Chains A and B, each alone.
Chain A
Amino acid sequence: MTGIVEGVRVERAGPLALLQDAGRFGVRRLGVTQGGPVDIHSWAWANRLLGNRWGAAALEISLGGLELVACKTLRLALCGADLDARLDGNDLPRWRAFTVEPHQRLTFGTPRDGVRAYLAVAGGFRADPVLGSVACVPREGLGGHDGLGHPLKAQERLFVDSRSQDEADTRNTPQAIPPSEMPHYGEPAQLALIPGAQIADFSGASLFDAFNRSWQVDDRADRMGVRLLGPRLACRISALVSEGIGLGGVQVPPDGQPFVLLNDRQTIGGYPRLGALTPLACARLAQCMPGQEVRLIPKPLAAAQDEYRRFRAGFA
Chain B
Amino acid sequence: MTATARMPRIEQAGIDAWLVRLFSDIDESNMPWLTALVRRCEEDFGAALIDLVPSYTTVLVHYDPLILSAGEARARLVALLETLSPDSGEAVQDIKELPVWYDPSVGPELERLERHTGWERDKVIELHCEHVYRVFALGFAPGFAFMGSVDERLALPRLETPRRRVPQGSVAIAGRQTSAYPTMSPGGWNLVGRTPAKLFDRQRKGFSLLQVGDQVRFVSVTRQEFERLGGEVTPVEARS
- Residues of chain A at the chain B interface (Cβ within 8 Å): 25-32, 34, 130-131, 139-142, 194-197, 241-249, 266-268, 275-276, 278-279, 301-302, 304-305, 308-309, 312
Q: Which residues of A contact B134 (CB under 8 A)?
A: none
Q: By DSSP majority rule, is chain A's interface helix, strand, loop, or mixed?
A: mixed
- The interface residues of chain B lying within 8 Å CB-to-CB of A278 are 14-15
Give Cα A197 to B211, complex, Å.
Answer: 27
Contacts of B138 in A (CB 8 A): 29-31, 267
In the complex, what residue of chain A is closest to B56 when comparing beta carbons? A241
- In-complex Cβ contact of A28 among B19, B24, B51, B69 (8 A): B51
Query: When chains A and B are docked, how far (Å) is the Cα of A314 from the Cα of B139?
Result: 35
| Interface membership of B207, Cβ < 8 A | yes
Q: Does B119 contact A (CB under 8 A)?
A: no
Let me know if A29 and B53 touch, CB within 8 A. yes
**In the complex the two chains form, what is the Cα distance from A140 to B200 in whole Å?**
11
Which range contains the number of B residues in contact with the other chain? 35 or more
Please indicate the chain B residues that have their CB under 8 angstroms from the CB of A197 in the complex.
Answer: 9, 11-13, 19
CA distance A142 to B183 in the complex (A): 13
Kindly list 16 other residue pairs between chains A and B, CB separation below 8 angstroms, not including A31-B141, A275-B12, A301-B12: A25-B50, A29-B54, A30-B142, A30-B200, A30-B211, A31-B139, A31-B140, A140-B141, A194-B15, A196-B12, A197-B19, A244-B53, A244-B60, A247-B14, A268-B139, A275-B14
Is B155 in contact with chain A by the CB < 8 A criterion?
no
Q: Does B137 belong to the interface (CB within 8 Å)?
A: yes
Distance in angstroms from B51 CB to nearest chain A CB is 5
**Contact of B144 with A31 in the complex, beta carbons under 8 Å:** yes
CB of B143 closer than 8 Å to a CB of A = yes
User: If A29-B38, A243-B57 touch, does A276 touch B142 (CB 8 Å cutoff)?
Assistant: no
Contact among A27, A131, A243 with B56 in the assembled complex (CB-CB below 8 Å): A243
